[in-house]
Chains A and B, each alone.
Chain A
Amino acid sequence: MEEKVLTRHFGVPDLLRIEVYRGQGGYQAAEKALKQMTPAEVLEEVKKASLRGRGGAGFPAGVKWSFVPQNIPKPRYLCVNADEGEPGTFKDRYLLTHNPHLLLEGTILASYAVGIRAAFVYIRGEYETVARRLEGAIAEAYKVGFLGEKIMGTEFNLDVVVHRGAGAYVCGEETALLESLEGKRGYPRLKPPFPASVGLFQCPTVINNVETLSNIPFIIQNGAEWFLKRGLPKDGGTRIFGVSGMVKRPGIYELPLGTKLRAIIFDQAGGMKDGKRLKAVIPGGMSAPILTEEEIDLPMDFDSLVSAGTMLGSAAIIVIDQETSILDVLGVVSRFYAHESCGQCTPCRIGTSWINKIVKRMVRGEGEADDIDSIIRLATNIKGRTLCPLGDAAAMPILSICQKFRRELEGYLRHA
């Protein structure tokens, strides 16, 4: 039986209340760090733990923190990325709903390590009720002196503000998130400079996913070695996999990195629903290239999925059945990116819309012989040419569907 880390206390009633959280050992890691460790020591421990970002990009958290310059007279900021817009993903909603204090404790630890005094939780607008719960937890933390000035009687101050988004997938991209937080349209910024040097309000900024930060208390409490043992040698910890689609038991499953995809679908999630047969799986949120049913025998970790031509992304597994038309899947995918494209750069703004128009025409039964090649060509012209990763996030799944399911798509074209 695998040991749970992040979700270990999920069954405890009222876990969102600070006294219950503390009763489970909560905030001990924060106390240990603030009173017995230096910020550099906290950062070093997180680096050793090889905690990779849980939002989708998988960048090592400790390394990201170390990019923040310490010796310049500007304030530093932490932004918690709770935008969770990647279709298929709902793990952060669970963490925020059931254990908001875990995130707060992780936020305190990260801020301490990097010398941050103000943290903003950018939470997607639709998570209104979740945001209220989080605000309640924050109020509790302030009340007992775990946030605000002189936290736990030390010299460390930290303010946390919940900031709600308003319906834009692109704001999950870190620089678009910053723009949105600054009260503007969610237009990604050119990189370099990177947020670690020029971020929120032009100050050094760390942006971390909810799940990433939720791991920090466990790393500090139990040490990097302990954390690494729960994952892979260069990839510490567990992942919360989200399974949805045509399975018997959709939901979150916290499992070690490296767990086999087939096992997650058929053992954990109960296998196909209603006796249906598996057709395809999207392994890491909609932006991850699709896998056919012959390709699902692989371990779920960053490197294995990259070798398979896809990605772990947000670890959101969407299971598609044989009765579902792949054209309908393509229709949802192309519509989504066209709708969510921010419009700033040429290839994504026009390319996603153009592809969507072609696919809609195919869905209407007016597809023509060269349409699939056109889609492939357009997606290839988007890939690698855009200002932010949303272009790639659109191009890669569309390319994978067109390439792996070409036969089926051709069947929907108008016959001459």
Chain B
Amino acid sequence: MPRFQIDDRVIESAPGMTVLNAAEAAGIDIPHFCYHPAFPPEGSCRMCLVEIEGLPKLELACSTLVKEGLKVRTKSPKVIEARKGVLEFLLAEHPLDCPICDQAGECKLQDYFDEYGLFHSQFKEAKEKREKKFRLGRNLILDRERCILCTRCVRFLEEITKTEEAGLLNRGIRCEVGVFDSEVVDNDYSGNLAQICPVGAITDSDFRFKTRVWFLESRESICPLCSRGCNVYVDSHPGYPRTPRARRVYRVRGRVNPDVNSYWICDIGRYGYAYLDEGRAPRLAWRKGGRDTRLTWAKAAQILTEKARSLVERGKGSRIGVILNSNLTNEELFLADRLFRKGLGVENIFLADPPPGKGDQILLTPDRTANRRGLKEAGPPVKAPGLKALADLDLLFVFGHYLASGIGPGELKAALAKVEAKALFSTHRSDLDDLVDFIIPTPVIAEKSGSLTNIDGRVQTFSAALEYEGEGLPEWRALLDLARELNVEPGLFSALTSPESVHRVLRDTVSFFK
């Protein structure tokens, strides 16, 4: 474990670490552009040069390995001068685009200039004129004037997706990032290029000109669109006091997790955030005779539990049915199991999920649900919903709006028409809305807290990245309320008040979660 000195601190680091990484681990930031932890050191931006005692020239922190007794200075006059030098070079040929550049507010060039530069330009010559709206592919726009040739984009396409769509063309000051004619970047991880570009050279056309990043709140969440469970940031606008905002969610970005998704997310997760704001189930309603009556959850719960109680007391528990989905959290699935299967003895527990899609060797799984594994480990045994089985029910709880997929609409309508009472707990509007009696809107994963189990069996806890603004309630709260109304297992349910408390019980009772 080599110990080395950096500025006025002595740090112990793991063998084989670079000065940059060891410093970062100790909370000392060394500025850099081309270095990215996912790739081997590149050494071309020259921003991370530091002074090492005993060596005549400044050395790169990103590629110099820590040795016992090394003495590094990151703030000496020579180092500051070198940083200013690099900044001056970069800014000399960089367009004054900040007012129109989407990267403003999260741009390394801006940040470092603010911290290490703040000098006046002495560049009197004509800047190189280059293409500013090159369609790099999918949602990517390349502005070659802004590009600092850190080559992160080229390296990503070589090392991560191994699709090699981009390359470096020309030589010297004429160097530029390019593709081969019409063979643009067209893989499912293209969005990462805009995220790793340290400046506004590669920007996201999906985000272009929509807002400024300092207006957004960036909160952590888990992507629920497949069973990888990639860690993400959801960037949303919190709203103005008196003016309506244009939209709530502006973008989703990848968040690092070395055990799950490294630094990346796929385009389906990155660009598929429309579901967070669009087509949401609006109102808690009781659909009677083609008309919607507003009601409270308390009232709906009362009606549903009365129905359930009466069926159970008359020995007709087998006429209660539940449809679950694999996007429920571990806690919700656990509660569903304890309430329906164990508590009420319900056997008709079905599963209706979104259809699978293609997967790849990187992150995306064919299973497009967030918690299939959680269902297996925490939830009840489930079966596929059959029309005949559904038609024999008197009371049906439907969690999720996926039932319609895979079953003909006419047949489903006919089957459900025979069910006396149907309650739909759903995040979004769907055709099911017309086939049920009670519509209870629910928050999406980004709007609640709990835990999910990914395809590798990794349990990930998360909390809300967005405020839920609907009239409904999360499924875990609904299940707790139903259980209390029905007086199921009071010893268990009375103590449960939050996803955290449910999670604690889950850990104590189910061996998988220990």
Contacts and interface: CB of A to CB of B under 8 A. Distances in A.
- Determine direct contact between A and B, CB below 8 Å: yes
Interface of A: 168, 185, 190, 338-347, 349-354, 357-358, 361, 368, 370, 374, 381, 384-387
Contacts of B41: 190
Given A342-B172, A343-B170, A385-B58, A350 B89 contact: yes
Contacts of A354: 89, 92-93, 123, 125
Given A357-B126, A387-B46, A341 B85 contact: no
B242 interface: no
Contacts of A346: 44-47, 86, 89-90, 148-149
B174 interface: yes
A299 to B, nearest CB: 26
A349 B41 CA distance: 19
> Among the interface residues A185, A338, A349, which one has the most CB atoms of the partner chain B within 10 A?
A349
B513 to A, nearest CB: 46
Given A384-B57, A385-B58, A385-B85, A343 B171 contact: yes
> Among the interface residues B44, B86, B88, which one has the most CB atoms of the partner chain A within 10 A?
B44
B353 to A, nearest CB: 47
B187 interface: no
A381 B149 CA distance: 19
Nearest to A357: B125
A343 B175 contact: yes
Contacts of B126: 357
Nearest to B85: A381
Majority DSSP secondary structure for residues of B touching A: loop
Interface of B: 41, 43-47, 49, 57-58, 60, 63, 82, 85-86, 88-90, 92-93, 122-126, 128, 148-149, 168, 170-175
11 contacts: A190-B41, A342-B172, A343-B149, A343-B173, A343-B174, A345-B46, A346-B90, A347-B46, A350-B92, A354-B92, A358-B124
Contacts of B90: 346, 350
A340 B49 CA distance: 24
A386 B173 CA distance: 15
Contacts of A387: 43-44, 46
Contact of B172 (A347, A353, A368, A370): A353
B46 to A, nearest CB: 5
Contacts of A185: 168, 171
A284 B175 CA distance: 30
Contacts of B172: 338-343, 349, 352-353
Nearest to B60: A190
A342 to B, nearest CB: 6
A350 B44 contact: no
B125 A345 contact: no
Contacts of B58: 384-385
A340 B86 CA distance: 20
A361 B125 contact: yes
A131 to B, nearest CB: 23
